[in-house]
Amino acid sequence: MATLTEDMQRVVREQRLAYVATVCPDGTPNVSPKGTTTVWDDDHLVFADIRSPRTIANLKRNPAIEINVVDWFTRKGYRFNGSATVLESGSLFNELVSFYAQRGLFDAPRRIQAIVLVKVQRALPLISPAYDRDDLTEDQVRTQWEDYYQQIRPKR
């Protein structure tokens, strides 16, 4: 049975930006945004190392990882907990670099230093406390945050 449901895969593919947590050598957390996060298959997420030296070093020491992906407007998403493998060469690495190049990642073969393949072991929903109110629908929450974004976005 697949670890990643259709909705989980949809959210990851639509959002792309994820926040990745790793463990530093002193045991403290390291959180870093990753704009290349996507679904590889029903059990794995991937992201490309373009400028992630601390994340990669942490994962080489300790493969524990958590990835959070949230739709900014609906305030819903998922947290994915698992184990990471850092790929720096080989056929799967080359396949994934080609995958990113086909998705339009500019100069992928030169820019990608490594690929992180994450075996998702647990996935849980992330839902804003806004939904604690029984009278708010997802459409209302989305509208509220879209309006807020328009208010703070600089006019050009």
Tokens of 16: 């792309």
Q: Which helix (H) or strand (E) holds 96?
A: helix 91-102
Give me the long-range contacts of 146-151 (CB less than 8 A, separation at least 24): 146/73, 149/72, 149/73
Spatial distance between the Cα atoms of 117 and 40, rounded to a whole number of angstroms: 8
pLDDT of residue 67: 98
Do 19 and 47 contact (CB within 8 A), yes or no?
A: no
Per-residue pLDDT tens listing for the chain (156 residues): 789 999 999 999 999 899 999 999 999 999 999 999 999 999 999 999 999 999 999 999 999 999 999 999 999 999 999 999 999 999 999 999 999 999 888 888 889 999 999 999 999 999 999 888 888 899 999 999 999 999 998 766
pLDDT of residue 16: 80
The SS3 of residue 34 is strand
| Domain 6-129: homologous superfamily in CATH | Electron Transport, Fmn-binding Protein; Chain A (2.30.110.10)
Spatial distance between the Cα atoms of 38 and 89, rounded to a whole number of angstroms: 20
- Beta strand residue intervals within the chain, DSSP E: 18-23, 29-34, 38-41, 44-49, 64-71, 76-87, 114-127
